[in-house]
Structure 1
Amino acid sequence: MTQYLDTADGRRLAYNATPGKGPGVVFLGGFKSDMTGTKALYLEDWAKQAGRSFLRFDYSGHGDSSGLFEDGAIGDWAADARAVIEAQTDGPQVLVGSSMGGWIALLLARAMPQRVAGLVTIAAAPDFSEQGYWAGFSEDQRRVVMEQGRIELPSEYDDQPYIITRRLIEDGRHQLVMNQPLPLPFPVRLLQGTADEDVPMQWALDLLDHAKGDDIRLSLVKGADHRFSTPECLDLIVRSVEDVLG
């Protein structure tokens, strides 16, 4: 059953918490996605069968949480994730971050390493506002963002365009993780599809090279796309979580 957390920042966040043994597992969704996606629900079913505590939630401006998507930025959503984790979990957690959720998982690992038991990322997109959107914009698009405060881009995933705001770009520059040391002193499993058209495979290789830790592995799945939601991909996510927990 969906419950709600009112945060110190004045945001109301929707979440679903499954009780069970620890370390728990927390799912961190992607940009403009919500906690009812295939991967989140598949992991929840696995956690129930395994008796493992599990948490999924919506960032502000996403799903059933308060706020407008275009008002948010990476720093807000990382703060949302931290608030829900601190309020609804005990002890270290395994963070499973999909796409933008991978970036947020890395921010949490930097901000609260004592609460992270391990990390599984799926097509992690660290610094995507800068190395994805801003780097890919034309001069005209950059001018629109800076002068008008926003630009609308078509989405492959629904009828509504992605609204990329000046605030998203500028806030993102304060949240970068690939431009400074990134210690990950716990088990880390990076998962990436070779046919992902949203997050280049090179980003996964760059993250593997950049992060520092004794137990970091990257699995490339030939032909997998950004959704990473085929039965084989879902099974690999669960096996990676079990590997980290083991």
Structure 2
Amino acid sequence: MSVTQTQPIALYFWPTPNGKKISIMLEELGVPYTLEFVNIGKGDQFKPEFLAISPNNRMPAIIDPEGPDGKPISVFESGAILMYLGRKFARFYPSDERARVAVEEWLMWQMGGFGPMLGQRNHFSVYAPERIPYATKRYQDETHRLYGVLNKRLADHEYVAGDYSIADMAIFGWAAGWESQQFDTSEFPNVKRWIDALNARPAVQRGMAIKAPVAPVSLAEDKDAQKILFGQRAR
């Protein structure tokens, strides 16, 4: 049964790989939404009003004014948001249990491995104040291994879990910038074919094109932003 969304979903967003997962999903669904920018380099994620819906001080998050039983609901964690939207609108997240398990396997693969490992690779290769050869090699090697896993999967699958799904959107948010990740992408032709296919989707193009409302600043050079993002301890 199709669901009609009359009030816009509020997307708390910054143009990061995790944020873009959700902008892509909302564009694919074609439902109304508004953008609430959370400038993570300025510490917006620590504001009480944001922590009320995302207690882990991470974006993205959403507020759906037309949640279960017609009451508003907030959802944080990008994987949970994708599953919520997939269930609500019955799209990109199959109801058949066998097909759903496949989607969830690859979604969890991204959430637990692909995203965190690529994030650490980027941190130690780009942002670390001093180069630590062991850490740099450790995460570069793990990034390479994970692309190999993805490439093998895509050798006999058009999309990662059968039909195009939230798993593809989650992985693509991180894989889209793969050419900057310091290895020979020609090693992974199936990944390239898949990335090209997703890049050709109009909704993906719209979701990826959303920019920050302020002029971009290089995080590698912004020491104040680095202190905010990389020096966090329990509050």
TM-score (norm 1): 0.29
Report which of the two has the higher share of helix.
2
Pick the structure with greater CA Rg: 2
Report which of the two has the higher share of strand.
1
TM-score (norm 2): 0.30
